[in-house]
A = this chain, B = another copy of it.
Amino acid sequence: MKDAVTTHLPTYDDVIAAHARIAPHIHRTPVLTSHFLNELTGAELFFKCENFQKAGAFKVRGASNAVFGLDDAVAAKGVTTHSSGNHALSLAYAAGRRGIPCHVVMPRTAPEAKKAAVRGYGGTITECEPSTTSREAVFAEVHARTGADFVHPYNDPRVIAGQATCSRELMDQVEGLDAVIAPIGGGGMISGCCLTLSNIAPHVEIYAAEPEQADDAYRSFKAGHIIADDAPVTIADGLKVPLKENTWHFVSNHVTDIFTASEEEIIAAMKLTWQRMKIVMEPSCAVPLAAILKTPEAFRGKRVGVIITGGNVDLDTLPWM
């Protein structure tokens, strides 16, 4: 069953179908601008605010596309996944709306706010250690026991097609974009951007931003093949996972460049965004702004879409406190 959903790549027709399928279950999120940040960077930045998305993150797009695309017989057994957080709670949200079970494997170190949200939507959590090895072992057991449909957090074509609806909205909301930048972990959002933009706006540059301390995508991109780390440590907890074959396809074929930022730069960009834009967003979302501030020459004078991927923060443990 895993092979059945991972052996083909999604097309732009899949994106159009996904958008129609998930529209009743997601928000068309707003695009915000900041005069202050434009002055600071020399670019015109358009922030696509998926922190205001249902379940608090863009991941609900892909999860909803997978859940609402299941036929009734498969859906009856529910869905299952492993995730550092937002995919878990997005899948729980979508499954809850369809009224089917949802089994998720989460690292025991995942933010309490995200675990509480999964349970709030009716999901069942099995904890693992915070490493790829442990996650995959625990997940294999849960998957075998439940027989639920596996919705991989980013490599699943249904998920990539769902995430691609975000950049599709952004292109509709902002005219004349020169570039789009998003954080990269497993590559689901970036793959979605590649899928949409390569089809409807192939001139738009696509940049990915990654923590220096979890720079496997950066090193993969430079080496020309997937390099996976087992347990990277970064404040950007959504970006610790490695690329897989489907996301690598999009990254290697369509991404213009990948930039990295240090933990200090990520935290500073996060705090600056909270202060000036008055929005609550996760550390992962600050990596693109940190990259723009670190490499301004790549963005100066351009109209740049910046994906704010999610807002599910543990307010009791903010990284600058």
Contact = CB atoms under 8 A, between A and B. Distances in A.
A168 interface: no
Contact of A275 (B32, B113, B320): B113
Interface of A: 30, 32, 51-52, 56, 113, 271, 274-275, 277-281, 311, 315-316, 318, 320-321
Contact of A274 (B52, B271, B280): B280
A278 B280 contact: yes
A311 B278 contact: yes
13 contacts: A30-B30, A52-B278, A113-B275, A271-B315, A274-B280, A275-B280, A275-B315, A278-B279, A278-B281, A278-B311, A279-B280, A315-B318, A318-B321
Chain copies in the assembly?
2
Contacts of A316: 320-321
Given A30-B30, A321-B321, A315 B274 contact: yes
B320 A56 contact: no
Nearest to A116: B275
A88 to B, nearest CB: 17
A91 B214 CA distance: 45
A278 B315 contact: no
Contacts of A278: 51-52, 56, 279-281, 311
Contacts of A311: 278
A310 to B, nearest CB: 9
A318 B318 CA distance: 10
A282 to B, nearest CB: 10
A311 B280 CA distance: 11
Nearest to A280: B278
Contacts of A280: 274-275, 278-280
